[in-house]
Amino acid sequence: MVPDTNLTEPPNLDERIDVTPAVVVSPDPAPKDVVFDVTDLSVYYGDFQAVRDVNVQINRHEITAFIGPSGCGKTTVLRCLNRMNDLIDIARVEGQVRYHGVDLYDREVNPVEVRRRIGMVFQKPNPFPKSIYDNVAYGPRIAGVKGNMDDIVERALRSAGLWDEVKSRLKASGLGLSGGQQQRLCIARAIATDPEVLLMDEPCSALDPIATARIEDLMQEIKDKFTIVIVTHNMQQAARVSDRTAFFTTEVNPESDTRTGLLVEVDSTDQMFSNPTDERTENYVTGRFG
């Protein structure tokens, strides 16, 4: 377990709320707060190299999108940001994932503490088979949060834009909600623990366009409180919601006929979609492959 003093920027909600939203109007040369600094990251599943040599920085209070064709390792990289890959026995990580300067894969880092600060929303809505209230209250409860749980639950549900739809049936099962509502419940659950970062792994892939639009609006509403990293298959979604975009692709290893993912380029979303430097990015964002 890492003492808080090791973090250059201990997450603190009150402090974060006061910060004005990051402005991306002019090409501001002032250095932004870097939350994640990923250097030379490679991930292996057994002997198979899933993704190699990823270098990317993720800035505070921005939405960073990971895009790319299937199997390019964008989800794998995302799951390295909160040590979720630990759950896969054969996964092995090389390189560094620095979170406020602390290497998350340092031996002394406690993954449970990591995940309290870096929340996650999954591809398929996965509420606990419990009541709506208990879904949201679970994280703060196990974290030993003192204070009025009703307030915490209400605030999280309001932030997730779900409060008005569920306030009369908080004791009903979370599984009784529609798919889009379930996903917003999962977002409420994730932000109830007051994380600094939200990782979203294709959060809209199981949702219809209306529910998707709802979640995208929500991301804009909460991005001044959280740093968001979203993996998406949907280029339009990346263009709509993100400030910066990272494009991943795959390359075939000639001798083993397997595919390894790699990061092609990272830039502001405007730049990536209008004037990318790499030809592969251009081909992808113009729909010529993938």
Work out how close the CB of 199 gets to another protein at its nearest, in angstroms, rounded to a whole number: 9
Among all chains, which residue has been given the structure tokens 């004791």? 171
Toward another protein, which CB reaches closer, 7 or 213? 7
Among all chains, which residue has been given the structure tokens 């990051």? 22
Q: What is d(CA 147, CA 140) in angstroms, rounded to the nearest whole number?
A: 10
Q: Are 175 and 129 a contacting pair, CB within 8 Å?
A: yes
- The kind and range of the H/E element at 277 are none
Toward another protein, which CB reaches closer, 85 or 232? 85
Which of 190, 200, 239, 285 is close enough to bind another protein by CB under 8 A? 190
Among all chains, which residue has been given the structure tokens 């090791």? 6
By CB under 8 A, residue 122 contacts another protein: yes
Which of 38, 65, 120, 241 is close enough to bind another protein by CB under 8 A? 120
Q: How many residues does the chain have?
A: 290
By CB under 8 A, residue 13 contacts another protein: no
By CB under 8 A, residue 91 contacts another protein: no
By CB under 8 A, residue 113 contacts another protein: yes
Strand partners, 267: 245
Rg over CA atoms, the chain: 19
Candidates 95, 110, 72; CA nearest to 263 is 72
By CB under 8 A, residue 175 contacts another protein: yes
- Name which of residues 133 to 162 contact another protein (CB under 8 A): 138-139, 142-143
In the complex, the residues that contact another protein under the rule CB under 8 A are 82, 84, 87, 89-90, 112-113, 115-116, 119-122, 124, 126-129, 138-139, 142-143, 173, 175, 186, 189-190, 192-193
